[in-house]
Amino acid sequence: MQRPSLHRPPSAKSTPTFRSTQHRQHSAGAFVRDADVYDAVRPSYPPEVTSLLNGCDQIVDIGAGTGKFVEKLNASFLGALDPSPAMVSIAASKSIAHVWQAVAESTGLADNSVDGAVIAQTWHWLDASAVCQELDRILSPGGKVVLAWNTLDVSHPWILRLARIIHSGDIHREGFVPEVHYPWTISREVRTRWVTHLRTDQLHLLAHTRSYWLKSSEKVRQRVTDNLNWYLHERLEFQPGQLLPIPYRTDAFVLERS
């Protein structure tokens, strides 16, 4: 069996590469299933990032997934929308927000109806120009937007190799800045590192939440599984079920109208 290279460097990309709009939309569409696995093993967000919306009273989480970000917020109105029925179902079951199915480019919200919005782990799947216009429509004067990304912290060599095996985690290079459009500009950046914990079997589930896995054939999935088992249990000699510290990097950006 061919093993992933030990020496490939981290990604230098500022965003994933898509061949076309259709390719981007097809890749994003992979997240219509396995929402329960996503909710179980994907990380939450550190308080340094969730606190960026402190002071906002009407907040919407756009592309909310299973509600990982919105469940950390406190406001008189919390809304959460996602295009995936499976994600919406789990987010709604938490009873943490008003939840509905919609896309970021057409949220269904009224004009000037919220003063805060978050788009976490989602911006790279979207038409940034169209979403910036939608945000301008729904955000009241003085409103702000938070963009956030969780990324496996590949400055740790064993995590870099893990990210390569599961095809995840280092798409956005350190120091990247997202594309934003009029009338929005980046007014603040927060870049932080933190640690969560997963067991070895949960690292397999983490691989199952990546678009690469969701789009792949059973043959490719088996290769990922075999490589991950080899890496965790033969190369690193972790025990089955062993609890491991998993370092993450979170990059967040506050957008305000120029």
The Cα–Cα gap between 160 and 154 comes to 4
- State residue 14's pLDDT score: 55
pLDDT of 26 over the 70 cut: no
Mean pLDDT, the chain, as a whole number?
90
- State residue 173's pLDDT score: 87
- State residue 172's pLDDT score: 82
* pLDDT confidence band for 258 (50 / 70 / 90): confident
In this prediction the pTM is 0.86
What are 188's two structure tokens? Answer: 């603040």
Q: Kindly report, residue by residue over 191-220, the tens digit of the pLDDT.
A: 999 999 999 999 999 999 998 898 899 999
* pLDDT confidence band for 5 (50 / 70 / 90): low
- State residue 23's pLDDT score: 40
Pick the CATH number of 21-152+170-196+248-257 from 3.90.550.10, 3.40.50.720, 3.40.50.150, 1.20.1630.10: 3.40.50.150
- State residue 13's pLDDT score: 58
Contacts of 13-16 spanning 24+ positions with Cβ under 8 A: 13/171, 13/172, 13/173, 13/176, 14/172, 14/173, 14/176, 14/177, 14/178, 15/124, 15/171, 15/172, 15/176, 15/178, 15/179, 16/124, 16/171
pLDDT of 30 over the 90 cut: no
Q: What is the mean pLDDT of residues 61-77?
A: 97
Residue 127 burial (C-beta neighbours within 10 Å; 0-12, 13-18, 19+) = middle
Sheet holding 98-101, edge to edge: 98-101, 77-82, 58-62, 114-120, 139-152, 243-257, 184-199
Least-confidence region, from 153-157, 199-203, 235-239: 153-157
The Cα–Cα gap between 227 and 219 comes to 12
The domain limits of the chain are 21-152+170-196+248-257
| Helices 200-208, 218-229: crossing angle, 10 deg rounding | 150
